[in-house]
Structure 1
Amino acid sequence: MSLTAADWENQRAFLAVLEHGSLSAAARELAVAQATVRRRLEALERGLGQALFTRSPSGLMPTAAARALGPHARAMATAAAAFARTASADVGALAGTVRITASEMVGAHVLPAILAELLERHPRLRFESHLSNRTEDLLHQEADIAVRMVRPVQSALVVKPVGAVKLGLFAAPVCLARAGVPRDLADLARFALVGPDRDVDFLRALATLGDGVVPDALAYRTDSHFAQLEAIRAGAGIGVCQVA
């Protein structure tokens, strides 16, 4: 194996191909010609003395060696980005882009005021907000910060509680007029319920409400929290919402 300090550009090309699965997508990511990506990747493979990808109908498939090298290349990319931010920033000034992921409701109703205050205090910060009820993989750089109501499964992450969100069961007046008011949690089994479709964490939380609250018992299922709220308002059933 023969690698030098000049190989970082080759390793960047490798990481882009690993992340995107094709030379063309990697070239767009790096803003270089596809031939340049190919040349850098081939140079890295020669230096390592082994192939990193094999061709398949669906694109370039990483070899076992590529999968093993992937985490190290990602760590190098993170360090390089941090180096560039530090080198370009004023001493003591916070600057750079922070990608945040949060659920739809938190991202729309909680984060804006917090981020506005941070931008006022640190005008050189930039925020990218990705609102999704899917848990992002921070270790693969899908986001820098995740604001979630469930504990992440990756042990390498830094986890810090930042507050508490109260949840409650809600229903529209037309729904209660039609079916009455539940006497207790066990009574929910006889009501139309609104809830998640494939959100495993949310489904697990709902199961704690009673034996009758199971996916098959949900009259209206969607993983969009906004759609759940509108369904509850329309009288489709009883559902869980954040308490303002």
Structure 2
Amino acid sequence: MAGSWDHFRSFLAVLTEGSLSAAARRLRLTQPTLGRHISELEQDLGVALFTRSQAGLTPTEAAIELRPYAEAMAGAADALIRAASGEASEDRGSVRLTASEVVAIEVLPPILTAFREAHPRIAIEVLASNRNEDLLRRTADIAVRMVRPTQAALVARRIGTIEIGLHAHRRYLERAGMPSSLRDLAGHSIIGYDHETMSVQLLQALGLSLEREMFALRTDSDVMQLAAIRAGYGIGVCQVHVARRDPNLVHILPGEFSFDLDCWLAMHEDIASTRRVRLVFDHLTAGLGAYVAGRKG
């Protein structure tokens, strides 16, 4: 394919940021340089990639079709840099993880702190995202997932199950009362989703009937939902072990509303023998295992 990696990197940055100025800041390039990269790539490919207006740059259909290929190139380039940062047999270099927002923010920090103390020469990169990142494209080295990995060429290990339940702050319950059944939830302030997300699809697969109109606060961010629960906004869904850390959060109707999500750890088989990756993988296995079992540490 025509075009250098620099051109495709600039293309992907503009596609993500929506403007030349924002993309230039992200890549630490000048705006004219970035504009030249886009123009040269369009000339090489023989297609227009963006339509220009006062509102910014709008990707054309051709640009949208090219996006997954550019993302694959970016993942490969990042993987190359990580591979070059340390020898395969040494405990140095960088390892990139991906996990859901809640796991990345609420669960991983103490686990990774313990790893840092034991292996100070290994740098950890964390992508907090509720998307199931494609490890085959090398957007990450290791993934923590709430569904079983199905892609070939992955080494996967089941860690256990994470219990999910309804929770509310004591302050909210003092104001609104404790529901005695799921039917009582109709009179409460419920925290839920804005658009149908992967988490919602998992709940629906378990037979739970969820409608957007049920919710008094709608957000697709699990971290925002958890923050709203902690603030006393209303009743919402979160991981039981996360909620147990706060004595002011009350587990509501555990006998009527409770379900488990599988927790898996996965990495590409090509890097399974790389020492720094294996060290992180094994440490996460132990740390996440302790978490799902409800143990500290």
Report if aligned partners of 1:167, 1:240 keep a CA contact under 8 Å in 2: yes
Gaps of 5+ in 2: 242-297
Post-superposition offset of 1:177: 11
Secondary structure class of the residue paired with 2:110: helix
Q: Deviations over 1:5-62 (max 9, x none)?
A: xx22222222222222222122222211111112222222222222222113431122
Question: What amino acid is the match of 1:98?
Answer: R
Report if aligned partners of 2:98, 2:144 keep a CA contact under 8 Å in 1: yes
How many residues align? The count is 229
Report if aligned partners of 2:85, 2:94 keep a CA contact under 8 Å in 1: no
Instruction: Give the counterpart of 2:79 among 79, 82, 105.
Output: 82
Post-superposition offset of 1:218: 5.5
For the residues of structure 1 that align with 2:15 and 2:175, how far apart are their CA atoms? Answer: 56
Post-superposition offset of 1:64: 2.3
For the residues of structure 1 that align with 2:206 and 2:69, how far apart are their CA atoms? Answer: 40
Report if aligned partners of 1:195, 1:239 keep a CA contact under 8 Å in 2: yes
Q: Deviations over 1:96-145 (max 9, x none)?
A: 252544343x344421222123323432333455667xx23635x9x746
For the residues of structure 2 that align with 1:243 and 1:147, how far apart are their CA atoms? Answer: 18
Greater mean alpha carbon deviation, residues 143-152 or residues 17-26: 143-152
Give the structure 1 partner of residue 94 of structure 2.
96
Report if aligned partners of 1:103, 1:147 keep a CA contact under 8 Å in 2: no
Question: What amino acid is the match of 1:96?
Answer: S
Give the structure 2 partner of residue 227 of structure 1.
228
After the TM superposition, list the runs of 4 or more consecutive aligned residues in structure 1 that deviate by more than 6 angstroms.
154-159, 206-211, 219-222
Report if aligned partners of 2:225, 2:236 keep a CA contact under 8 Å in 1: no
Question: What amino acid is the match of 1:77?
Answer: A
Secondary structure class of the residue paired with 1:224: helix
Q: Rate the CA distance shift 1:165–1:150 in 2: closer, same or farther, 3 A.
A: same
Listed as ranges, the matches of 1:8-157 within 5 Å are 8-93=5-90, 94-96=92-94, 98=96, 100-104=98-102, 106-129=103-126, 135-136=130-131, 138=133, 144=140, 147=144, 149=146
For the residues of structure 2 that align with 1:194 and 1:138, how far apart are their CA atoms? Answer: 30
Gaps of 5+ in 1: none
TM-score (norm. length: structure 2): 0.58
Q: Deviations over 1:164-221 (max 9, x none)?
A: 1223455649948985772x55x5457636432426456663897977x866555676
Q: Deviations over 1:217-241 (max 9, x none)?
A: 556767521321442xxxx766545
Secondary structure class of the residue paired with 1:29: helix
For the residues of structure 2 that align with 1:210 and 1:63, how far apart are their CA atoms? Answer: 39
Secondary structure class of the residue paired with 1:162: strand
Paired-residue identity, %: 38
For the residues of structure 2 that align with 1:207 and 1:101, how far apart are their CA atoms? Answer: 21
Report if aligned partners of 1:101, 1:130 keep a CA contact under 8 Å in 2: yes
TM-score (norm. length: structure 1): 0.68
For the residues of structure 1 that align with 2:212 and 2:240, how far apart are their CA atoms? Answer: 23
Q: Rate the CA distance shift 1:87–1:193 in 2: closer, same or farther, 3 A.
A: same
Q: Rate the CA distance shift 1:203–1:37 in 2: closer, same or farther, 3 A.
A: closer
- CA RMSD after TM alignment: 4.2
Question: What amino acid is the match of 2:227?
Answer: F
Larger radius of gyration: 1
Greater mean alpha carbon deviation, residues 166-175 or residues 24-33: 166-175
Secondary structure class of the residue paired with 1:89: coil
Q: Rate the CA distance shift 1:151–1:230 in 2: closer, same or farther, 3 A.
A: farther
